[in-house]
Structure 1
Amino acid sequence: MRNFLYLLVLGGCFAFCPTQSKAQQSGLKKKAEIPYLKGESKRIFPANPDNPGPQKGGEKSWFTNDHCFVEDTDGTLHWFGINNPYPPKGKGLYRYHPYLGHLTTKNPEGEWKRLPHAIDESKGTEYIGAPYVVKHEESGRWAMVAETWRDKRRLEVYWSDDLHNWESDGKAILPDKLWISSRDPHIMKGSDGKYWIHIVSTGNKGVKQSQVLRIKTKDFVNFEDPETILGINDNNWATLMESPFLVERNGLWYLFFTYAHRRYAETIVVVSDDPDHFDYEKNTLTTLFGHAAEIFTYKGVQYITSCGPEDKHYLNHQSVSMSPLGWAKQR
């Protein structure tokens, strides 16, 4: 209870208050720092590319969802993400998904410049989703992993030399080993020198549960078999989690993921001292406000974002919001 009151005073997050006694609590949780949103999570740009404003009724005609941030060699920050109009009559919300938006800035709390869509499938498959972009150090090119919908929903790789022009290799990532709901990649360079792709899925190794999987690659052409790093026994047909993101801090690992099918804007944080294994039952650390949260550091400040929602409630802004991310040391 003391930790709960401490977090409540800090503000900016909803604390997860375990029912265990202190003697039973995980030693990891006692050592861990608690992430929290420092102040208000503010909108950083309008979802609608034309930005007609609420007076003209067009502000809520577009929405955002999963997204990512990457800094280029000139120090410019790029945003890539799902950015679509609500579907026209006869099209489905989760099937008509034609655009990946692209914006840039050198001040994430200031003005963002909107660029042409990074990928436009409006005259093609009408579906592109959940991108993540990293610099492939070995080739000097940029790699994007995104969800596509060709013969079925799948993950594939796009390449770019300049972060503006993208081409897909047209090949699905591990098509015979990933469940159809596998999506929402997060990518980082691992301690083994390989690129770790984290996705949500189910059915890995025959287990029907909500899972976060890791797929390793060196070249984004050849991929190792997926390994489950977190599983929740909450279902037997599809993953109920979304948007994993892994952070290493002071020798501990923090796995953020959205529990969107329980609450749309609920981001859970699970702590571990082993990046290959996270225990949801024992080591859930806190709950944050946010959907499809991304974490990035730019000019020495660490930020956390949220996006969406894909509905039209009165005060919702349908776009991307951002707040500095704090880390509270426990007493």
Structure 2
Amino acid sequence: MPAPPAPTNPAPAAPVRLVPGEKRRLLDASPRPEEPWYVNDHTLIRAADGTWHAFGIWHPEPADPLHEDLFLHATAADLEGAPWTVHDSVLPARPDLGETHVWAPHVIEHEGRYWMFYAGGTADHTSYRLTLATSEDLFSWTRHEPPLFTDGFDARDPMVIRDGVRWLLYYTRTSAPDGGFHEVAVRTSEDLLTWSEPVVAYRSTQSGTVGGPTESPFVIRAGEGWVLFVCESTQYDRTLAYYSTDPLHFEDSGSLDVDLDEHCAEIVVDGPRTWTTGGGWGRGGLTIRPLEVRT
């Protein structure tokens, strides 16, 4: 049988390749071996003195997401195997403000101040609060009231990056407050305090309320474009990646072929090295692996 004809319009080669390295344990924040605690959605940031700080959802096993009411704070000298010191937890949920739980901190530095964006969960899943706290030293935090904005269903997992002229805040939500297509939404700001109305950065073909394939969005620059990472919650340890030249718009056609078996992956840049971290329920803390971004 003759070979099928070659396609007349072959698909272009992917403009970015993601090559993950070997995974290892980064941090186990359990108080004692016989008392395991998990670290779920998390963030890492290097302070001005070079110390690395980790923040994340922190709770005793087993999973109990609607009662995750405080954040882990731990520090280490480097990401290459230095021991971690666990400090007092930060920013517990405030029932007096209507918070029943707090999720998914993300920390950036701007003009000598640290800015933490996180989700304040409430009894009303159609109106979750995206909230801000700031710090001068990463230990003492001041909440900003009122929350930045509300959205649903379970709008959460904020991540902030600058595109050169403005700030972009990505988060996961559904296309309608009470459920719909799972989306990554993005809002813009000039000052990190006042945010635009949302734009849909990515919409999945799947719909529902809890979970979905757009959790834990994270965006990085990659050559002349951008890569969006999202967590596929129907396969707990799986992160997907999409390439686009427009940071406000990603599509399935930009899917990148990469095997990232992480939950709630974060991308961490440490000088010339790039890492991806992961965590989650029953995962014994956080893992880390090198991630080569080839453009």
TM category (shorter chain) comes to 0.7 to 0.9
- CA-CA distance at 1:221 after TM superposition: 2.5
Q: Secondary structure at the match of 2:78?
A: coil
1:143 corresponds to which residue?
A: 115
Matches within 5 A, 1:121-270: 121=93, 125=99, 127-137=101-111, 140-150=112-122, 152=124, 153-175=128-150, 178-192=151-165, 194-203=166-175, 208-237=180-209, 240=212, 241-260=214-233, 262-270=234-242
Q: 1:291 aligns with which of 260, 263, 268?
A: 263
Cα distance in structure 2, aligned partners of 1:23 and 1:107? 51
> Does 2:68 correspond to 1:102?
no
Q: Secondary structure at the match of 1:184?
A: strand
Q: Which runs of 5+ in 2 are unaligned?
A: 1-5
2:3 corresponds to which residue?
A: none
Asked if the contact 2:131–2:149 (Cα under 8 Å) also holds between the matched residues in 1, the reply is no
- CA-CA distance at 1:212 after TM superposition: 0.8
Please tell me the residue identity of whatever aligns with 2:106. Y
Asked if the contact 1:78–1:103 (Cα under 8 Å) also holds between the matched residues in 2, the reply is yes
Q: Secondary structure at the match of 1:285?
A: coil
- CA-CA distance at 1:150 after TM superposition: 4.4
Sort the Cα spacing of 1:46 and 1:279 in 2 relative to 1 into closer, same or farther, 3 A.
Answer: same
Sort the Cα spacing of 1:22 and 1:95 in 2 relative to 1 into closer, same or farther, 3 A.
Answer: farther
- CA-CA distance at 1:300 after TM superposition: 2.5
Asked if the contact 1:209–1:239 (Cα under 8 Å) also holds between the matched residues in 2, the reply is no
Cα distance in structure 1, aligned partners of 2:89 and 2:226? 34
Cα distance in structure 2, aligned partners of 1:300 and 1:248? 14
Q: 2:247 aligns with which of 261, 275, 278?
A: 275
Q: Secondary structure at the match of 2:195?
A: coil
Normalized per residue, which structure has more helix? 1
1:38 corresponds to which residue?
A: 21
Cα distance in structure 1, aligned partners of 2:201 and 2:264? 19
- CA-CA distance at 1:131 after TM superposition: 0.3
Q: CA RMSD in A?
A: 2.5
> Does 2:291 correspond to 1:325?
yes
TM-score by length of 2: 0.87
Q: Secondary structure at the match of 1:163?
A: coil
- CA-CA distance at 1:168 after TM superposition: 1.2
Q: Secondary structure at the match of 1:158?
A: strand
1:93 corresponds to which residue?
A: 64
Q: Secondary structure at the match of 1:95?
A: helix
TM-score by length of 1: 0.78
Report how many residues are paired: 282
1:5 corresponds to which residue?
A: none
Cα distance in structure 2, aligned partners of 1:247 and 1:296? 10
- CA-CA distance at 1:119 after TM superposition: 2.3
Cα distance in structure 2, aligned partners of 1:225 and 1:123? 27
Sort the Cα spacing of 1:71 and 1:34 in 2 relative to 1 into closer, same or farther, 3 A.
Answer: same
Sort the Cα spacing of 1:208 and 1:75 in 2 relative to 1 into closer, same or farther, 3 A.
Answer: same
Sort the Cα spacing of 1:227 and 1:204 in 2 relative to 1 into closer, same or farther, 3 A.
Answer: farther
Q: Deviations over 1:239-269 (max 9, x none)?
A: 6121011111211211111011x20111001
Cα distance in structure 2, aligned partners of 1:100 and 1:24? 51
Q: Secondary structure at the match of 2:50?
A: coil
1:80 corresponds to which residue?
A: 55
- CA-CA distance at 1:31 after TM superposition: 4.0
Sort the Cα spacing of 1:31 and 1:195 in 2 relative to 1 into closer, same or farther, 3 A.
Answer: same
Normalized per residue, which structure has more strand? 2
Cα distance in structure 2, aligned partners of 1:254 and 1:319? 26
Sort the Cα spacing of 1:230 and 1:117 in 2 relative to 1 into closer, same or farther, 3 A.
Answer: same
Sort the Cα spacing of 1:236 and 1:100 in 2 relative to 1 into closer, same or farther, 3 A.
Answer: closer
